[in-house]
Amino acid sequence: MAMSPWLPFEWIAATRFLREGRTQSLLIIVGVGVGVSVIVFMSALLSGLQSNLVKRTLSSQSHIVLLPPEEIARPLNGDKSGPLIQKQAQRLRSIDQWQNIRGRLEKMPEIAAVSPVASGPAFAVRGDANKSVSLIGIEPENYNRVIGLEERIVAGRLRLNAGEAVIGIELAKDLGAAVGDKLRLNTGNGANDTLTITGLFDLGNKGVNARNVYVGLRSAQSLLDLVGGVSSIDLSLRDIYAAEGLALKIAAETGLQADSWIKTNAQFFTALTSQRISSNVIRFFIGLSVAFGIASVLVVSVVQRSKEIGILRAMGASRGQILRTFLLQGGIVGLLGSLLGSALAWSFLAIWRMLALNPDGTPMFMIDVEPELIVIAAGGATLVGILAALMPARRAANLDPVVAIRG
Amino acid sequence: MAENPNNAVLRLGGIRKSYLSGESELEVLHGIDLTLQRGEFAALIGPSGSGKSTLLNLIGLLDRPTAGQLFIDGEETSTLAESSITKLRGQRIGFVFQHHCLIPAFTALENVMMPLLVDRGRPDAAMRQRAAELLAEVDLADRQDYLTSRLSGGQQQRVAIARSLAMNPSLVLADEPTGNLDTHTADDIFALLREVNVREQTTFLIVTHDPRLAARCDRIIELVDGSIVSDRSV
């Protein structure tokens, strides 16, 4: 119980007052703790859920896809009353000067990886089975940095020399093929090639697993009659949420069509955004009710202690000392409450991890309380506590000692 | 005691205090002149409603007069800013209230330290030493680590007296210091105040209803209806 010699009067008085009003202090700290735990738990859950959803969505998609501009048929004169112009069918074309564009993209600091792709429709034939597929020609090293194909290989490995292909597990099932088997590819322009399957992938999406056939960039170029060309350039970004802005910028600079994942998945992205907004609204109101809780407890405390405050003032305590004593009580309650809340949230998450499992027993998705989240929660709750204490503390500082001592 | 303005701990000149009561102004003190010399032991008596408490609050710098001058140790206070008044009050004036008014969250020793603590901001060993000595002087050395709720009424009042002396004040104001105590304890407390007065030459102004106690002071100042009607040495 001894006073620490290094603590100033305000700290000593604030902690003593809180300790003396033990029940009140404990109740409000638990109240703050419950509020903070909901905020921390919800934030961790939401960010885990969202990053998991985004990760799944982006597992088979690049952040930005660059395509050659659409071909548009223009009438010779600008006469609006002329014949109706039918929209032109888009044929498979290469991106003009793609090597040059690639060089420029690789110099942009926002871009983590650039992967040129030659892709087009084809048929995969094996015995009597015959499947329509997407033939995708890649440079494996660069493509890996965009899609992460290598870590999705479930059998064999990612090796795409001439005459080799990697296919999805669904397609392998449909065709009854395994690693080491042969596969024949026919393209629309009559070209065909027989490839050896070197690996099977699972990109977490049934359609993609049934459709995509990866071959080396050169093989695809010759099969698709795109020699030396690429049909698209896939980009991976350092900040996925900057995709839309960057896509607009690249489109303006290169004249290419640039589609960001945000635009491609507009509905999904809107859902993420509204989820985030609604959780912010909930957080705000929890913060508000925490603030009101702290304020009401301190208002009662000021009323209960008005005589003591009057005596302290008579003994020479300044208004500032009284003000700070009560602000500190708010801050301490906020800080302790947030630590309790973080511990509670951590336990909720531990329970969640035990309960939210996939059918095979693996966790449904990873959620963790990040240290920054706890630091932010503690800082925020302390600040809310001090702000909530402002009104009661000013009331305490402005008490008339004459009235306070008599009352 | 001879009037020597240079030695005056307290000097009031034409102190008036009025309150707004609805539309009209109600004057509670009508021009009080009073001087207390160092070492005086004076009683302030008068019927309730005579303005005793108001006068004590003005002298204690808890309230400000409507008109007139108030000197503490020769320093004019009416022109001082609020923060300087607070500082002056803490350093020069000790209070002993009727309802002993200790702070229950602190021990006896810490209550005695409190005026030093609010003045200097942080506790130190010297403060603790001084508080322990003061508690020993009021015979409570063995109770210094008790929370005040565990002390009897008389013990609490002795802690309050020790506390009022912590800053070595020029003037101690005691408002019915024995009002809540039985006769025997009241006599003890009164004797203690007297002892401090004689030993430290501390000036005391004691408000009391009890003519028996007033008669044991050196000087009796009687206030009736906001004016001093008699001021006599005993």
Domains of chain B, start order? 38-65+82-233 (3.40.50.300)
Question: Which region among A103-107, A198-202, B175-179, B217-221 has the lowest average model confidence (pLDDT)?
Answer: B175-179
Contact A181, A174 (CB under 8 A): no
Q: Which chain B residues in 37-66 lie under 8 Å from chain A, judged by CB atoms?
A: 53, 57, 60, 62-63
> Which residue, of A208, A239, A263, is where some domain finishes?
A263
Return the residue of A nearest to B173 by Cα.
Answer: A314
Six token digits for residue A178: 């395994």
Is B4's pLDDT higher than 60?
A: no
CA closest to B164 among chain A residues:
A315
Residues of chain A scoring pLDDT < 50: 1
Say yes or no: A287 and A239 in one domain.
no
Helix spans in chain B (H): 52-59, 82-92, 108-120, 125-137, 153-164, 183-200, 211-214
From A263, A282, A315, give the residue that closes a domain.
Answer: A263
Task: With respect to residue A89, please indicate whether it lies within any of the assigned structural domains.
Answer: no
Q: Does residue A84 belong to any structural domain of this protein?
A: no
Chain A residues near residue B111 by CB distance under 8 angstroms: none
A131 and A149 in a common domain: yes
Residue A86 falls within a domain, yes or no?
A: no
Higher pLDDT, B104 or A3: B104
**Residues of chain A neighbouring B91 (CB-CB closer than 8 A):** 316
Closest CB from B53, B101, B107 relative to A311: B101
Cα–Cα dist A107/B234, whole Å: 101
Range of the domain at A150: 98-263
Q: What is the number of alpha carbons within 13 Å of residue B27 lying toward its C-beta?
A: 10
Indicate the pTM of the whole model.
0.77
* Short-list A290, A282, A275, CA closest to A28: A290
B126 touches chain A (CB under 8 A): no
Residue-level pLDDT at A137? 94
Same-domain pairing of A209 and A304: no
Read off the tokens for A184. 């024949």
Are A294 and A321 in a shared domain?
Answer: yes
* Number of domains within chain A: 2
User: Cβ contact (<8 Å) for A16 and B167?
Assistant: no
Q: What is the pLDDT of residue A69?
A: 87
| Cβ separation B57–A402 shorter than 8 A | yes
A345 and A402 within one domain: yes
Inter-chain CB proximity A5 and B91 less than 8 Å: no
| pLDDT value of residue A78 | 59
Contact B72, B9 (CB under 8 A): yes
User: What DSSP letter does each residue of A12-47 carry, written as one string?
Assistant: HHHHHHHHHTHHHHHHHHHHHHHHHHHHHHHHHHHH
Residue A64, domain member (yes or no): no
Chain B residues close to A8, C-beta within 8 Å: 121-122
Indicate which of A315, A324, A399, A400 best probes the interface with B, i.e. most B CBs within 10 Å of its own CB: A315
pLDDT at B10 over 70: yes
Q: Is the pLDDT of residue B111 over 90?
A: yes
Instruction: Read off the DSSP letter of residue B73.
Output: T
CA distance A255 to A245: 15
Residue contact A402–B63, C-beta within 8 A: yes
Q: Which of A247, A263, A279 is the last residue of a domain?
A: A263
Mean pLDDT of B110-127: 93
Q: Do A102 and A250 fall into the same domain?
A: yes
Q: Is B118 close to A9, i.e. CB distance below 8 A?
A: yes
In a domain, A303, yes or no: yes
Measure the CA–CA gap between A388 and A292, rounded to whole angstroms: 7
Q: Under an 8 Å CB criterion, which residues of A touch B?
A: 1, 3-9, 12-13, 16-17, 19-20, 307-308, 311-319, 321, 401-402, 405-406
B95 near A CB under 8 A: yes
Chain B neighbors of A308, CB-CB under 8 A = 103-105
Return the amino acid letter for A152.
R
Residue A217 confidence (pLDDT): 93
Total number of residues shown for chain A: 407
Rg (CA), chain B: 18
pLDDT tens for B67-99 read 999 999 999 998 899 999 999 999 999 999 887
- Interchain contact B115–A (C-beta under 8 A): yes
Contact B118 A312 (CB under 8 A): yes
State whether A24 and A120 are in the same domain.
no
Identity of the residue in A3, A5, A402 whose CB atom sits nearest the CB atom of B62: A402
Collect all residues of chain A within an 8 Å Cβ-Cβ radius of residue B146: none
What integer pLDDT is reported at residue A352 of this predicted model?
83
Using CA atoms, how far residue A176 sits from A133, A169, A208, B166, in Å, is 15, 10, 17, 96
CB atoms under 10 Å from CB of A70, counted, come to: 9
Q: Which amino acid is at A208?
A: V
Query: Number of CB pairs < 8 Å for A and B?
Result: 78
Chain A residues with CB inside 8 Å of B56's CB?
Answer: none
The whole-angstrom distance between A11's CA and the closest CA on chain B is 10
Confidence tier at B2 by pLDDT (50, 70, 90): very low
Asked whether residue A283 falls in the same domain as residue A352, the answer is yes
Residues A252 and A275 in one domain: no
Contacts of A4 in chain B (CB under 8 A): 123
Residue B45, burial from CB neighbour count under 10 angstroms (0-12, 13-18, 19+)? buried
- Kindly state whether residues A165 and A226 are assigned to the same domain: yes
3-state secondary structure of A150: helix
Q: Residues A353, A253: one domain?
A: no
Residues in A touching B116 (Cβ below 8 Å): none
Q: Give the per-residue pLDDT at A5.
A: 63
Q: Which band of pLDDT confidence, cut at 50, 70 and 90, is reported for residue B132?
A: very high
Q: Does some domain include residue A83? A: no
Give the whole-angstrom CA distance, residue B37 versus residue B32.
16
The Cα–Cα gap between A65 and A204 comes to: 20
Write the ipTM. 0.91
Q: Which of A6, A7, A318 sits opposite B86 (nearest CB)?
A: A318
Kindly list the residues from chain A whose CB atom is less than 8 angstroms away from the CB atom of residue B28.
none
A294 shares a domain with A158: no
Is A79 a member of any domain?
Answer: no
Is B107 near chain A, with CB under 8 Å? yes
Instruction: Inspect the interface and report whether the beta carbons of A16 and B106 lie closer than 8 Å.
Output: yes
User: Does the residue A40 lie in any domain?
Assistant: yes
Q: What is the mean pLDDT of residues B184-208?
A: 91
